[in-house]
Chain A
């Protein structure tokens, strides 16, 4: 599967430009001094039609916030979000209604993302009901078709059951059916497999890959797991403290990482083979929070390759090092 990179392709479904989200935090209880947590800071990327972009990073790096901004569960502080060339960063009313049918989300925890008091039928039909799509019979047919599609067959065996009567994998399939029932063109998937058991996880991953082929959906796939991102995504963006530090073809990122953080992240992933000795990721310290960050490279304090020039230089921007492989680092 070789897909054109963003720069070559014209058919862009999602374009994010300089997206930022700052949260005010109280630095100290007594001083009442307001500080800003730069949860997402000046993030730009594109997703092409039919493509899967992986957003990878550790907890607190802003990947989930980015996802929530794109589906407009949160309103960005600044920046633009273009879905099929329409800016959705501050739409309301009718525009929002149409947007909700175009962009959907799959959540991490299948035990929490389904209303425990609703039947599977009501859950999957909800997007159709609230948008007033189709007659009752049509909705029902849609729901059954969707359940079939996500592998809950026969649908009649599931329609009138409650979430607690299903297993974790089945629930996540219901959540996927709900997201896809309005036939969105873009789906944000926030770690949909991380809560599932290994034997169930594979099935969901394969389902997501299958649905992408069948329905031509584009995904933003948010995960902390590089191996999963590699398996499912065409391109991977690595985030660190609210910024994208490296973006490129999945194989490039995994095989030929350039940014010191990506390198450390990859070498830290355990491998299922006792014979392999992994190099020790020589990254210093721990993750801090991007509260009023200094204007230099965010990774400077932990970077094993940093030079004194990095301390004075401004925050590096993403630069193309060839073949659509973007890296934000001064040392190239």
Chain B
């Protein structure tokens, strides 16, 4: 398949009064055309920073330390500002966190999208743009007669759909969605997740979906990347990662949250707190909180390597089902069987 986006050893730091915050450290992955990548991690793990780096929308105190981002073969950080502006919206579009509040209350929703189209594609006429918005509304499931309504007449879920329609307006080849459903109720979230999936398959678009919620990521992604404290710890095909998580953090994250399906299981607790990125731990950044950590983990950072086809990992002591099982039994008094990764409820 064609590679659309490629991050090579991306390292980005923020300058603050207290020092350099190592927000992204050596992140590499590539995304094929039509593929969807889910990035999961806790707040402050760098997932939004990655999105901003790809959009080249970093704040002034951010500095690209090393690495590069190739989009369609072009190095994003070698382009001029003008070229990047051309790229945004038309090639890469983003749905921001709480984007539904970003609609301008004094213009009708339809007009805002028409405006966006006409600005980015000056050759498009007003009528043509209007037709396109009509079909976009149909695509995201808003009745087209609501085009001339104002944002306050929309519900939260509808606004979010309108924002998605806006992101799709210029037929981008990549869409970055940063927690687009976090503020929404489950039923609305479910509808929007399904719509995003449908649209993506229909127009064969690539997507990077960012969320803190493992379950949401499981729903929408072909490939899953797990981030922790600025590092990518594991990346691989969704089925593979969810069935056979190799990194202890991936495993813990997946089992830290109760499920509505299957038997009530014991939850995995991750001790401690995420590290301060001003002064991250040496070696593997997760090692102070990792039950599997050995001496090596505190000394050298694990290498980013491919363990099976398309499944990448950075860990000195990856979970092997058997070993994991024994670890698990040590961990929980009730002797949970959760490590048995072959079940899957």
Chain A residues packing against B (C-beta within 8 Å)? 58-59, 167, 169-170, 197-203, 205-206, 224, 226-228, 230-231, 251, 254, 264-276, 278, 280-281, 283, 286-287
Q: Is the CB of A270 within 8 A of B267?
A: no
List chain B residues, Cβ under 8 A from A203: 269-271
Could you mark each residue 161-205 of chain B with 1 if its beta carbon is under 8 Å from any beta carbon of chain A, else 0?
000000000000000000000000111111001100000000000
A28 to chain B, nearest CB (A): 15
Question: Does B153 reach chain A (CB closer than 8 Å)?
Answer: no
Closest to A251 in B: B264
Known A199-B252, A265-B187, A274-B238: A231·B264 in contact at CB below 8 Å: yes
The number of chain B residues with a CB under 8 A from chain A is 45
- The residues of A that contact B193 with a CB separation of less than 8 Å are 270
- Say whether, besides A167-B273, A198-B42, A200-B273, A275 and B239 are in contact (CB < 8 Å): yes
Chain A positions within 8 Å of B117 at CB level: none
A268-B190, A270-B190, A275-B344 given as contacts; is B259 within 8 A of A197 (CB)? no
Question: Given contacts A230-B264, A271-B259, A276-B345, are A197 and B215 in contact (CB under 8 A)?
Answer: no
CB pair A268 B257 closer than 8 Å: no
Q: What distance in Å separates the Cβ of B338 from its nearest Cβ neighbour in chain A?
A: 12
Complex-state Cα separation, A264 to B191, whole angstroms = 11
Interface presence of B268 (CB below 8 A): yes
A286's closest neighbor in chain B, by CB?
B155
Neighbouring A residues of B189 by C-beta, 8 Å: 268, 270
Can you list 29 pairs linking A and B with CB atoms under 8 Å apart? A58-B185, A197-B42, A197-B274, A198-B213, A198-B257, A199-B253, A199-B256, A199-B274, A200-B273, A202-B269, A227-B258, A228-B258, A230-B260, A231-B267, A265-B186, A268-B190, A269-B186, A270-B193, A271-B215, A271-B218, A272-B218, A272-B242, A272-B257, A272-B259, A274-B218, A275-B242, A276-B345, A286-B158, A287-B155
Q: Mark B198-235, 1 if CB is under 8 A from A, else 0.
A: 00000000000000111110110100000000000000
B318 at interface, CB cutoff 8 A: no
- In the complex, A206 Cα to B268 Cα: how many Å? 10
Evaluate contact between A198 and B253: CB separation under 8 angstroms.
yes
Give B238's nearest chain A residue, CB to CB.
A274
**Residue numbers in B under 8 Å from A228 (CB-CB):** 258
Minimum CB–CB distance for B151 against chain A, Å: 15
Given A272-B254, A273-B345; A198-B268 close (CB under 8 Å): no
A-B contact count (CB 8 A): 123
Q: Chain A residues with Cβ under 8 A from B186's Cβ?
A: 58, 224, 226, 265, 268-269
Which residue of the partner chain, among B155, B158, B212, B219, contacts A198 with CB atoms under 8 Å?
B212
The answer to whether residues A283 and B187 also contact, given A197-B42, A197-B212 and a CB cut-off of 8 A, is: yes
> A59 and B270 in contact (CB under 8 A), knowing A201-B256, A270-B213?
no
Task: Establish whether residues A270 and B216, one from each chain, have CB atoms under 8 Å apart when the complex forms.
Answer: yes
Q: Give per-residue flags for B264-280: 1 if the beta carbon is below 8 A from chain A beta carbons, else 0.
A: 10011111011000000
B261: interface (CB < 8 Å): yes
Q: Do the beta carbons of B258 and A281 come within 8 Å of each other? A: no
Q: A198-B42, A227-B259, A286-B155 are in contact. Are A169 and B242 (CB under 8 A)?
A: no
In the assembled complex, B326 has its CB within 8 A of some CB on chain A: no
Whether B190 contacts A197 by the Cβ 8 Å rule is no
Q: Which 5 A-B pairs have the closest CB atoms?
A: A231-B258, A270-B215, A268-B190, A199-B270, A58-B185
List, in ascending order, chain B residues with CB within 8 A of A264's CB: 187
Given the complex, which residues of A lie within 8 Å of B345, measured CB to CB? 271, 273, 276
CA distance A264 to B238 in the complex (A): 26
A107 to B183, CA, bound (A): 18
From residue A196, how far is it (CB to closest CB) to chain B in Å? 9
Chain B neighbourhood of A197, CB < 8 A: 42-43, 212, 274
In the complex, what residues of A have CB within 8 A of residue B216's CB? 270
| Chain A residue at minimum C-beta to C-beta distance from B183 | A59
Q: Could you tell me the distance between the alpha carbons of A275 and B242 in the complex, rounded to whole angstroms?
A: 9
Cβ contacts B302-330/A at 8 Å (1 or 0 each): 00000000000000000000000000000
- Apart from A269-B186, A271-B260, what 8 extra A-B contacts exist at CB < 8 Å? A58-B186, A199-B42, A199-B289, A202-B267, A202-B270, A268-B190, A274-B219, A275-B239
Q: Choose one: B185, B252, B254, B259; the contact of A224 (CB below 8 Å).
A: B185
